A and B are shown apart, each in its own frame.
Chain A
């Protein structure tokens, strides 16, 4: 009985029109819709919260860091590579949401064999890919009409981003301490977000992530270096980066002290905040466009 009351209360919050007419029918409908979701992707978690269903998320992966309250209300299950089936099943979810290819096949099949619905969405790192992810997640949760609003918002913000006459050349460096420095080539989320922000990726001759070499760095000669804020912290700031890779001092970026640090989940989750991330990066790039 207590459960029913809470559910009805939840329904009132969601649909203000039905405030007065709480009846049996709505209770049943809401009970049917109420999920217990394990979301194993940052963008998917953000979309669910944006749809107003964040309270149904019971478990997330480490990449789901936004909105911040999510990590308090849901159990953090670990990195996609270190997840355990028992940890997921312990939350008694009704559905597990992830992206294609991010879970180990044996974990995927174990979840299905336990009788729990597993949905792997296709995630493509582009505006169109993000919009279709929003739509698919929303349709799954029977919130299709809300997807339009989110997607229009993304389109709106993206269209506001101004192009540069001389697009700055941007090098993304992924760092976890001086020992691990990787640069983003083509076909990476970073490449996409830099293009959306109207910059140019300094790396044009390889795809994916490759270890940073000084010669490649000098050849690329970026105007500005883009990093995750945690990555820059792990090197103790720009000076630490130059100490680790002295060749940076010889590039344009080194000469203008050009480094931009942004929150990793914000910059590359390719979720509802995609437009805002691109716009913010665009603003940060402006001083380097000559």
Chain B
């Protein structure tokens, strides 16, 4: 396919350069110049498959849930302050930098994680450069101590030994016991290393450390550390460049968005744990180091959408561990949305860009899950109650925070029905698929009747008048249980956004507590409902609330205080990836939708490559030049809906084979079309 946009090769090259780790060299990289949205800086040193990670604390220490590595840098007897920011290179590449200052002396930290090929450990290579930026000689000192976390740790690793009081040791000559740290030959006792210098003006000194997430044999750690820190950094840059290069490529001419997506992909890939042959998606690298179907489903979808197909499918296989004998999927007590989510994630991961060879295996699991869902409805119908045809009550201890029949459970069950039908159809079980589609139709009717029975104009959290908004917010997208332009969905979004002060992040629990991903689905819904500006407000909020390393929290105050709910959160990363991807390429339903939410700046010329869709992999260019919008894309066997640039509409008559779409901002191209040009006029009717 010939690229439409003349500058597209350059843009793509630029994007690949971003993905290729062409970040500024470490010493020209000033972490304090990188924006940090939260009140306290944090960082995560993590690795795909590893079962622990290191948290870079706001004080600039390291903590892995079992022990802390405390750094005490000082100059002229004064302790250095905490870092202002803990930044990834270009705010995405996970080589972390932070600076601590004591007078004129800077302590410049650079740290990178690397996985262990043999087990689920990871090792952090960390270098500190001590620089005298002043004009006079200064005595400087760096003490590094291994410590137990104290009485109230911010979190405890689930696999930490009882008591958190096992002896901690630095590697030393002749060490026989497992060790927790290595440094390049500085003096100190069993748990401390220390170095001091008198630095001339402009003089630099450097110390190197290695920290495993689990204790290691001293010899093995020493051997690992024989590879210089610079090599470890180079290896990490190359690794992440290669991995991100395997998936979808974005060249939007908008580095902030491109880097935000890259950072989110790093987080999603790093929040995968390997348990033997099984891979599982975890909620986060620290205190949420566990599997929730509701979070894992989002992570798997996001990975699938941005082309990490193999990883998404491995994770999907891992999720089969959560199927119960009666057919249901459940990861946490009382969270009955898990079955619908499991079915949905299978469809998301296995059907793009083409059905996976193993789809029949998953289809049988899906059939059992659907049968369980159907039994729930049958049993409920027998009760004869007003909402008997909806899912039975759940008590999730979370989310809606109520014991009730939850609307979100039904929304996800409906999404699960649709997914199960697709999986069965793809595996050749046409009769079973048809039976599910028939039952889906009845379930949708029952759902709409139940909504009418609530007497409310929107979708409540629960069929009983209790609970917080949660699963109901997923009804428009991704569950798609009502048409996007259904009045109830408008009423729901308006209610939620009005109480939050406008479209953007929503709140949870109290109005002061912003929730990063809870309302992100409303962003995609807004795209589908023709509310592009509101969708863009959601994207803007997601872009704003990121750390200097590109991750996002889950719950935090409007001032950016996250308490002990530590960033990054995998579902937050998934929310950002999904909204950006849906703004460009949306492939649910029978129509491919392009540029649904493309920002004005992207219309200067953008290219998306290797985007997996339900009709295969898609390459796609678009741009606005003067009063014309142009698209070129890999032709698909479906109608393609093209959304015009913001603030424009079609001028004059469309040239065949294009047709008018559902609004004056949309045109339709028939199956097999690979390009379109539309004359524009400013303004909407």
The yes or no verdict on A and B being binding partners is no
Q: Tell me the B residues contacting A by CB distance below 8 Å.
A: none
